[in-house]
């Protein structure tokens, strides 16, 4: 790998990669070769005859015809030279083998639109910034998984084909399933709670979820990776928030330690490990704070709208120097039937949204585990208990108090790297008008 060359002594090496640039000069040729780990400069002095005329020989002739993106394997002499701007090393070429030739005219450029770049995603992903996104994602997921495993959580892989809706059928994709219909899971919610009834205690899952939401915003997709966790024996949603913030601290710490310098160099962003506890603000209070800043959330909306999220995030950053804030105690009118309500005020739930850099990335709550109350809340929401009979059975045979959250992985990465769209940090984006590549 090119990244390993700097640690080697001067001497013979073999490397492979894509041709990035070619400078075909009269007396010397330079090629910048790139693989997934970095880039290195190749040097090929031109051969001349006794009269100083350049002789057409190899590998000079091949280099003169190289197109950007062609994949080659080269051998040569590695030389450390601090005058070389690209990493302080170069390779003096001995041989060059063209493994595959790229079409000279590339379909995308640096100034191509995002949609055009997504059409040619495999080419778009060759850039170092894109490569870093997915190495960073790997580190982030690994750190979360390490936290879970070190704290005795069980990893689950829940089914993505469901017989009935878990929340709103309006947001479900319906698919043919032999002689009946099935739905693509918009959340592993019911299955996470089933694990609590089964006595698993603490579980997590990182897997796909689907939302039939015809939204074209920069933060929505129809298929996304959901990070979910559920725990038993909680006293309130505060226990869930504590789990959530500890998990994020573990992830951000790992990213900063392993990729912080690269993120700063390529994205101009300094990864900040959040301090705990994260600020917590009841939703009603947050709306008043936003109003005092000159923006009023629409009165017919019990939720916090996107501008309200940006305003409260700005307030928290100014007041607490924090990029995260838990908005708590959401109205029961906009929360699912399985969210537990406060004992002294049934109009609000023991739930939260987590806002990161002005955008909601997660919803969490304590779940209602008492079957009689659960049935009544389902009816109140217009959910027919007979349609969720299998789910309700979990609570008829003894289930502990529990709660959890679901978090969009791509949103976290988008906001961590200060990217304008979730499409930039999703390997292959799926939206209302995109099913390819």
Please state whether beta strands 89-100 and 38-45 pair in parallel, antiparallel, or not at all (unpaired).
Answer: parallel
What 3-state class would DSSP assign to 18? strand
Tokens of 206: 């990182």
Q: Cα(421)–Cα(280) distance, rounded to whole angstroms?
A: 27
Alpha helices in 269-421 (DSSP H): 283-292, 306-320, 371-380, 389-393, 409-416
Q: Which residues are annotated as a binding site for L-aspartate?
A: 167, 211, 363, 367
Q: Which residues are annotated as a binding site for ATP?
A: 360, 408-411
Backbone φ, ψ for residue 139 (5° rounding): -65, -45
Tokens of 242: 């504590």
Please state whether beta strands 341-342 and 71-80 pair in parallel, antiparallel, or not at all (unpaired).
Answer: unpaired
Backbone φ, ψ for residue 82 (5° rounding): -65, -15
Please state whether beta strands 180-184 and 351-356 pair in parallel, antiparallel, or not at all (unpaired).
Answer: unpaired
Nearest to 73 by CA among 14, 31, 129: 14
Q: Which residues are annotated as a binding site?
A: 167, 211, 360, 363, 367, 408-411
Tokens of 380: 């109140």
């Amino acid at each position: 790998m090119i990244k390993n060359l700097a640690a080697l002594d001067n001497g013979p090496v073999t490397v492979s990669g894509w041709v990035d640039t070619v400078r075909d000069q009269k007396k010397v040729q330079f090629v910048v070769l790139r693989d997934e780990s970095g880039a290195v400069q190749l040097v090929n002095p031109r051969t001349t005859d006794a009269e100083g005329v350049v002789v057409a020989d190899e590998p000079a002739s091949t280099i003169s015809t190289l197109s950007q993106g062609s994949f080659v394997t080269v051998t040569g002499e590695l030389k450390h030279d601090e005058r070389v701007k690209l990493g302080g090393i170069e390779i003096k070429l001995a041989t060059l083998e063209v493994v595959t030739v790229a079409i000279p005219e590339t379909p995308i450029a640096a100034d191509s639109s995002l949609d055009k770049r997504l059409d040619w995603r495999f080419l778009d992903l060759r850039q170092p910034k894109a490569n870093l996104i997915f190495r960073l994602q790997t580190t982030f997921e690994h750190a979360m998984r390490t936290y879970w495993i070190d704290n005795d959580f069980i990893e689950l892989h829940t089914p993505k084909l469901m017989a009935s809706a878990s929340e709103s059928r309006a947001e479900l994709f319906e698919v043919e399933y032999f002689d009946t219909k099935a739905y693509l899971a918009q959340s592993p919610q019911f299955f996470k709670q089933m694990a609590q009834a089964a006595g698993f205690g603490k579980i997590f899952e990182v897997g796909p979820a689907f939302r039939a939401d015809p939204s074209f915003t920069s933060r929505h997709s129809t298929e996304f990776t959901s990070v979910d966790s559920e725990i038993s024996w909680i006293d309130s949603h505060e226990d869930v928030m504590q789990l959530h913030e500890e998990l994020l601290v573990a992830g951000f710490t790992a990213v900063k330690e392993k990729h912080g310098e690269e993120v700063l160099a390529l994205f101009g962003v300094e990864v900040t490990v959040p301090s705990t506890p994260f600020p917590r603000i009841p939703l009603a209070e947050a709306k008043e704070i936003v109003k005092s800043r000159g923006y009023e959330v629409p009165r017919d909306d019990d939720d916090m709208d996107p501008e309200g999220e940006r305003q409260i995030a700005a307030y928290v950053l100014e007041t607490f120097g924090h990029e995260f804030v838990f908005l708590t105690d959401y109205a029961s009118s906009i929360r699912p039937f399985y969210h537990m309500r406060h004992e002294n005020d049934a109009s609000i739930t023991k739930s939260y949204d987590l806002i990161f850099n002005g955008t909601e990335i997660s919803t969490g709550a304590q779940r209602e585990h008492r079957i009689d109350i659960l049935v009544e809340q389902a009816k109140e929401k217009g959910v027919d208990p007979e349609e969720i009979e299998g789910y309700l059975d979990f609570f008829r045979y003894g289930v502990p108090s529990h709660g959890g959250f679901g978090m969009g992985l791509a949103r976290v990465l988008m906001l961590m790297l200060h990217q304008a769209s979730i499409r930039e940090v999703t390997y292959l984006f799926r939206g209302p008008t995109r099913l390819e590549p």
